[in-house]
Amino acid sequence: MTKEQKKEAKKRILDAGVSLFARKGYDAVGVREIAKKAKVNISMISYYFGGKVGILKEIISEFHDQYYRIVKDVDEKNLSFEQTIQLIVRNLVDFVRTNTALAMVAMNTIPLDIPEIKETKAEKVFEMFKGINGLFNRFNLDSGDAVQMIVIGPALISTIVTHFRFKPIQKDVFKFTFDDAFYEHYIETMTTLFTYGIAGLAAQTQKTKGDNNEKNS
């Protein structure tokens, strides 16, 4: 097997793990099922990942590395507070929209009773918080306040991932078409919420109603 073939086989294993974990949950999936879906010998899973736990660790690492890069790239642009929030929201929505299964697994399929998984998740979250300390401080937030970090840190990505997790239910309830127009409105709403809070969102709603009334009068 060539180096390129080995690389491709490893990717197929990882992709199979993402797909199966997202659809069935970590505990319900075995290495034989992953190997079958990836079309590889089961021994290759042990060779590349050391087993099923290793696949999940790789998924968690890949997600958090991309998530961190998105936030860090926006932070380095030194935009205004609202512009920063808007661009982070837009880039995270685009990322999760393109990598929904990866996000589902990395955020929701976390068996914390497995020490290796708990340690990997904690390590990646710590790296994230450490890397965006400057962003917190730049907007007069206290990166040394554990409560602020716990509340604000995961709030945005968790909200976005939760939307994608429950899209099938939301579609049935609200009869939405999740097209580009929907996500433009979604990004605008999320930006307002995380920039100005509920009061800001209410003010935006009242302004929209007022503008519509003027047009109709």
Helical packing angle, 52-75 and 3-24, nearest 10°: 90
148 and 106 within one domain: yes
What percent of the chain shows pLDDT beyond 90? 65
- Whether the full predicted model's pTM is greater than 0.95, yes or no, is no
195 and 98 within one domain: yes
Average pLDDT over residues 110-125: 92
Q: How confident is the prediction for the chain on average, in pLDDT?
A: 90
Does 198 score more than 90 pLDDT?
A: no
Domain range spanning residue 123?
A: 57-206
Alpha-carbon span 69 to 67, nearest angstrom? 5
52-77: pLDDT as tens digits = 999 999 999 999 999 999 999 999 99
Alpha-carbon span 182 to 176, nearest angstrom? 8
44 and 61 within one domain: no
Give CA 100 to chain center in angstroms: 8
Of 77, 207, 217, 89, which is closest to residue 134 (Cα–Cα)? 77
Question: According to the model, what pLDDT value does residue 161 have?
Answer: 95
133 and 71 within one domain: yes
What is the domain count for the chain?
2
DSSP code at position 40:
S
148-191: pLDDT as tens digits = 888 888 899 999 999 999 999 998 998 888 999 999 999 999 99
Question: According to the model, what pLDDT value does residue 35 have?
Answer: 96
